[in-house]
Amino acid sequence: MTRVLSVASECVPLIKTGGLADVAGALPAALAPHGVGMRTLLPGYRGVMAAQGTAAPVVAELGDLFGGPARIRRAALGETALYLLDAPHLFDRDGGPYLGPDGKDWPDNPQRFAALDRAAAIIARDGIEGWRPQVLHLHDWQAGLAPVYLRQLGVRDVRTLLTIHNVAFQGLAPAHMLGALQLPAHLFTPQGFEYWGRISALKAGIVFADKVSTVSPTYAEELMTPEFGMGMEGVLADRGADFIGILNGIDLKTWTPPYSDTKGKARARAALRAEFGLPEAAGPLCVVISRLSEQKGLDLLIEALPALIENGGQLAVLGAGDPALEAALRAAAERNPTGVALRIGYDEALAHRMIEGGDAILVPSRFEPCGLTQMYGLRYGTLPVVSLTGGLADTVINASAAAMGAGVATGLQFHPVTAQALARTLERLVALYRQPELWQGMVANAMAQPVGWDASAKAYADLFNSMTTA
């Protein structure tokens, strides 16, 4: 069995800000049938330590780690071993994993996640509880320095895979922190981890990991272009065949609809309308569950919204983010109280009820590395309306004339990513909804789509096995 240590800054059900957490939480169990034994290393945030209990046994003492004592405690993630980096000076504080209560980055984020990476490298060198990984699976910039620390510690027989969940976050730190982060100055070059005069943890991972992956094949292609690469396109292109895209999956146990027929869907829709204070309507009930940002295309949706509402459709939104977008959505709800409803914040249980009861789920992102909400929609027969980008392009079969003729469409895609194109697609959505036979055929197609981890877990397992046998 291939031994892999997953190094992540978040992991469901303990701490989540985005899809990275879902992937880190689901992969260990998904990989087990494919001959991969994965354990997870996670920062010991205050909430995580409270949930797991500080009584979790200490299995390794690390001494001073970037300003204070640190140790590894062993907990459990279902059937999987979970290692918590217990470093109170770095993680025992209020706020989120990356932001303080004031909504700004923790000023010591470079040290906090360098500590996570250093701990991973020490485990790779020394092993833990008689177990030593053959591969470190590193998630995003927060784990990007681990390959550099492996070199420093003289570890040559442990391979590394960096998975990029979102290239927009790059883990930048000023050059004067080289010493504070215990990084070798000779690697602070354009060929190393220097990025426009700063340290980039993400670039360190891209350059020095044995393999680099991202979370969908289309996003892998997009990342090698200036439009999507966020300055990393050249570095990624240089990796050649060592850079690949493996599509995410979803946890089918967590995301399983409580119905299998149209009557069950209708009951869920009625309950959702009642919960949001929306009346019955002739058009589809659309849902949005998202961070409210321009990346997610919410400004485009606000501009295109009349195309839905004026044709009898409705919109229910759950999310938080950009204050201007929150205000614009509030104003839309005030103008259209029977057509638009809004909940600011995030509520996992409500998200499930929205996907259960919605007719369509809208994901108009300008870029989307993989996206999971459209896969939840497919699973529940809540037809995705998505932009043609990243994982959205890889997972939704557009209701084109050819796809409808072949009876294989599972949703709607729009391109270019503009408000006008989205408005036209929302009009198409309403038109399809008014043709029950066509609509129900698409719902059946959507619910039959394979959106679990089986194929992707095998792809990861094959990659890990090739890395350890090469």
Query: What integer pLDDT is reported at residue 53 of this predicted model?
Result: 67
Q: In this structure, is residue 256 part of a structural domain?
A: no
Query: Which secondary-structure segment (H or E) carries 456?
Result: helix 454-469
| 367-383 pLDDT tens trace | 999 999 999 999 999 99
Distances (CA, A) of 44 to 41, 50, 311: 9, 9, 50
Let me know whether 127 and 155 are in one domain: yes
182 phi/psi in degrees, rounded to 5: 55, 40
Let me know whether 226 and 346 are in one domain: no
Show binding-site residues for ADP-alpha-D-glucose: 16
CB distance 2 to 468 below 8 Å: yes
Q: In this structure, is residue 207 part of a structural domain?
A: yes
Q: In this structure, is residue 373 part of a structural domain?
A: yes
Let me know whether 295 and 332 are in one domain: yes
Let me know whether 341 and 360 are in one domain: yes
Q: In this structure, is residue 372 part of a structural domain?
A: yes
- Domain carrying residue 142: 2-249+454-469
Let me know whether 80 and 94 are in one domain: yes
Let me know whether 158 and 43 are in one domain: yes
| 104-123 pLDDT tens trace | 999 999 999 999 999 999 99
List the CATH number of the domain containing 172: 3.40.50.2000
Let me know whether 276 and 218 are in one domain: no
Show binding-site residues: 16
The whole-angstrom distance between residue 406's C-alpha and the CA centroid of its chain comes to 32
pLDDT confidence bin for 79, thresholds 50/70/90: confident
Let me know whether 287 and 307 are in one domain: yes
Distances (CA, A) of 134 to 30, 39, 156: 18, 11, 10
Let me know whether 180 and 50 are in one domain: yes
pLDDT > 70? residue 452: yes
Let me know whether 230 and 343 are in one domain: no
Domain count, the chain: 2
**More confident of the two residues 32 and 54:** 32
Q: In this structure, is residue 235 part of a structural domain?
A: yes
Q: Tokens 């036979």 map to which residue?
A: 437
Q: In this structure, is residue 257 part of a structural domain?
A: no
| 155-188 pLDDT tens trace | 999 999 999 999 999 999 999 999 999 999 999 9
Distances (CA, A) of 469 to 1, 154, 209, 324, 458: 12, 20, 17, 52, 16
- The pTM (predicted TM-score) of the whole model is 0.93
Q: Tokens 């590394």 map to which residue?
A: 160
Let me know whether 271 and 211 are in one domain: no
173 phi/psi in degrees, rounded to 5: -145, 150
Let me know whether 235 and 309 are in one domain: no
Q: In this structure, is residue 255 part of a structural domain?
A: no
